[in-house]
Structure 1
Amino acid sequence: MILDNRGLEPPNPMMRTLKAVEKLEKGQSLKIINDRRPMFLYEQLDELGYKYMTEPNDDGSFTIEITK
């Protein structure tokens, strides 16, 4: 599943992402696309025990793959 958060003002991207990752089963992944690197989201994901990888995109956005 891909969640495109581009064009949204903070904290909407983080709130949408956290709501979506709650629905993941163990081992499932979610890809999100954000306009900026989601530094505050990383803190939340660390606390919740999720793994994530961040890739910069050519247009300046970031794709983050989050795995439960």
Structure 2
Amino acid sequence: MKPSIVLDARDLEPPEPMVRTMEALDKLAMSEKLLVLLPREPYPLYRALELNGFTWQTKRQADGTVEVLIQHQEP
């Protein structure tokens, strides 16, 4: 399934990527997925996702971009 929302945070300075990701997750419907594009692995984000009931898949692209596909955990 394709992501419903794509957030390109590769050119943002911390903590802006985390802030914008959490804002997007607040609006994410149960059936939607959020794809976040980042310049590095977002370890602090993973803990926040876990605590807030989200699952994720991470892929690293050849250009160094880290793609994190996020969705709500199944009930």
| Structure 1: runs of 5+ lacking an equivalent | none
User: Quick check: which has more Rg, 1 or 2?
Assistant: 2
Normalised by the size of structure 2, how large is the TM-score? Answer: 0.86
Q: Deviations over 1:23-67 (max 9, x none)?
A: 011131100100011000101000001000000011111000000
RMSD: 0.7
Normalised by the size of structure 1, how large is the TM-score? Answer: 0.95
Q: Following superposition, which runs of at least 4 residues in structure 1 exceed 3 angstroms of deviation?
A: none
| Structure showing greater relative contact order (alpha-carbon pairs closer than 8 Å, 6 or more residues apart) | 1
- The count of residues paired between Structure 1 and Structure 2 equals 68
Structure with the higher helix share, 1 or 2: 1
How many percent of aligned residue pairs carry the same amino acid? 37
| Structure 2: runs of 5+ lacking an equivalent | none
